[in-house]
Amino acid sequence: MKETISKIYQIAKYTVLENMKRRNFLILFLFIIIIMGSGILFSMLAPDKELRVITDLGTASIELFAFLTAAFVSVKMILQEMENRTVYLILARPVKRWTYITGRFLGITAQTAFYIIFMTSALALLLLIKGWSWDFYIVGISISIFFKVLIVISFSIMFSLISTSSASSFLSIFFLWSLGHFSDDLLVLGEMLTEAGIHIAPLLRIIYYIIPNFSILNYKDFYHVRAPLSANFLFSCGYALGYSLVILLISIILFDSKEL
Amino acid sequence: MNNQPLTIKNLSKTYLQAHIGKKTATKALRGINLKLENNEIFSLIGLNGSGKTTAIKLILGLIHPDTGKVKIFGNPHFSSSSKRKTGYLPEMPYFNRNFTPIEILKFWGSLSDIPRDKLKTRIQTVLKYTSLKNEEHRKLNSFSRGMLQRLGLAQALLSDPELLILDEPMGGLDPRGIIEIRDHMKKLKEREKTIFFSSHSISEVEKVADRVAVLHKGKILKITKPHSRLEDEFLTIISDYERNNK
């Protein structure tokens, strides 16, 4: 068991190192440019709403950048390793297939967590410079974004095992991401269609339960109206963790039977 | 205890493909049997698409057989104990070009069950053996094809395996690279290693192998000793098979 944990750790560490060498972290500088640029722009255009705009734009950018890097890195890394057969060199060693997938998952997760912490710190620093008083809610928003992206990572790994092209995997993730933010609307749509005589509400309800519900982790849109962070927040994070672990398990099963 | 480095019994593999509702089955291997002796260089020769890479993938457990068994030193090929005793060099090994040999080898070593206190020494040994000692901190993006092949060999030798599986080890190399790999294979035999390699270069096989298996359309047609007229014999075996199976 100790050996297996050590191998998972080594694969995760190598994943982080690989991404650092590919200089994916340069995207963080783009984030800094965006929030600093918006800070300067809105201090001139609407000084009274400056903090609000920077907060909204900053948290939306954290989510977007975290989503893009997690999805892109997960899809690209796994597919590339199978295409150029680097994965053969790993699996020809005493490494179980589930160890490889788990190591990759944890490596990408650690890297994404670091990016989110970095971006949140940069945003908080800019807000403090602009006269904002520290608010713990921003940490809650970042945690909720992290758990959303955790689901994205697990799905990206799964899609990269099923698909043969990074474009189709990425599009599937994007579709799922968009649908998951409007999953509550599926139930409303089902009711409306039933009233119109189209009885597909049960099907839409099944889809509602299957697809990830990202809207329950959408705390960033409620920063100014203060949705409570307490019990709901823990439930939402637990839901995302459980959901991503189930998808990870499916990925492991798929990879175990995959012909390389 | 079974001391046979590699035993293959009745190994078959069919690839299934579905395209617009139509399923096609391609038989890549049809019940092959092989037994490798200790300290021999065994070559699997065949035309492109004869099933050489499929056989290697099955030995390494990268794909699943329809029927048959593969054992490495008496243990199932997918067991950790078998993998610890096996080194593998793929055809045209790919490495992340942003890394240095030492970084790459540290990673592979950490996955090869090499005790931590011995890993450093093993890395230095294989770097020296493959003449990459002076390049250990150089990024791989400046490496030639031959140097990358040597690094591939270095990673295969890292755990000091008893059995080496090399997939087209001379493929894509210039004459100097081919000679280097051939010399390495001979030296490894002197060190009592067993080598199983695939190739379609019969002239190279002649110079290095102890035994040769002719693989054609997923079947082993003959196992023979290499000789100066191996190429003619190979072509005769294949054309006879084609004639008899029209």
Q: Which residues pair with B76 in a beta bridge?
A: B71
Q: Which amino acid is at A88?
A: Y
Is the minimum CB–CB distance between A245 and chain B shorter than 8 Å? Answer: no
> Phi and psi (nearest 5°) for B5?
-60, -40
Query: Is the CB of A10 less than 8 angstroms away from the CB of B83?
Result: no
Q: Are A70 and A224 in contact (CB under 8 A)?
A: no
Give B107: exposed, middle or buried? Use CB within 10 Å, 0-12, 13-18, 19+.
buried
Distance from CA of A96 to the nearest CA of B (A): 9
Mutate which: B94, B111, B148, B160, vs A, most A CBs within 10 A: B111
Contact partners, residue A178, CB within 8 Å, separation at least 6? none
Please name the member of A11, A85, A89 whose beta carbon is closest to the beta carbon of B155.
Answer: A89
Query: Would you tell me the crossing angle of helices B145-157 and B101-110 to the nearest 10 degrees?
Result: 30
Q: Which residues pair with B69 in a beta bridge?
A: B9
What would the pLDDT profile of B61-76 be if each residue is shown by its tens digit?
Answer: 999 999 999 999 999 9
**C-alpha B87, offset from chain centre:** 8
Q: Buried (b) or exposed (e) across B220-239, using 16+ Cβ within 10 A?
A: bbbebebeeebeebbeeebe
Q: Which residues of A touch B155 (CB under 8 A)?
A: 89
Contact partners, residue B72, CB within 8 Å, separation at least 6? B5, B6, B59, B82, B85, B86, B163
What would the pLDDT profile of B107-161 be if each residue is shown by its tens digit?
Answer: 999 999 888 889 999 999 999 888 888 888 999 999 988 889 889 989 999 999 9
Q: Which amino acid is at A110?
A: A
Query: Is the CB of A7 less than 8 angstroms away from the CB of B111?
Result: yes
CA distances from A97 to A7, A110, A168, B62, B182 (A): 11, 20, 24, 10, 33
Please name the member of A21, A85, A94 whose beta carbon is closest to the beta carbon of B80.
Answer: A94
Q: Which residues of B touch A6 (CB under 8 A)?
A: 110
Residues of B with CB under 8 A from a CB of A: 15, 57, 60-64, 80-81, 83-84, 86, 88, 90, 93-96, 98-99, 103, 107-108, 110-113, 155, 159, 165
Q: Which residues of A touch B163 (CB under 8 A)?
A: none
Write out residues 74-93 of A within 8 Å (CB-CB) of B.
Answer: 84-86, 88-93
Helix or strand or coil: residue A85? coil
What letter would DSSP give residue A152?
Answer: H
- CA–CA gap between residue B106 and residue B193 (Å, rounded): 23
A-B contacts at Cβ under 8 angstroms: 65
Q: Which amino acid is at B116?
A: R
Query: In a structure prediction context, what are the per-residue pLDDT tens digits for chain A, which is 260 residues long?
Result: 888 999 999 999 999 999 988 888 888 888 888 888 877 887 777 777 888 888 888 899 999 999 999 999 999 889 988 888 889 999 999 999 999 999 999 999 999 999 999 999 999 998 898 888 888 888 999 999 999 999 999 999 999 999 888 899 999 999 999 999 888 888 888 888 888 888 888 898 898 889 999 988 888 777 776 666 666 888 999 999 999 999 999 999 999 988 88
Query: Is the CB of B111 less than 8 angstroms away from the CB of A10?
Result: yes
Q: Residue A24's closest CA among B98, B107, B143?
A: B98
Query: Is the CB of A17 less than 8 angstroms away from the CB of B103?
Result: yes
Mutate which: A11, A26, A93, A104, vs B, most B CBs within 10 A: A93
Give me the mean pLDDT over the B198-209 stretch. 88
CB atoms within 10 A of CB A249: 14
Query: Is the CB of B98 less than 8 angstroms away from the CB of A22?
Result: yes
CATH of domain B1-85+195-246: 3.40.50.300
Q: Hey, what are A137's tokens?
A: 């809610």
Query: Is the CB of B94 less than 8 angstroms away from the CB of A84?
Result: yes
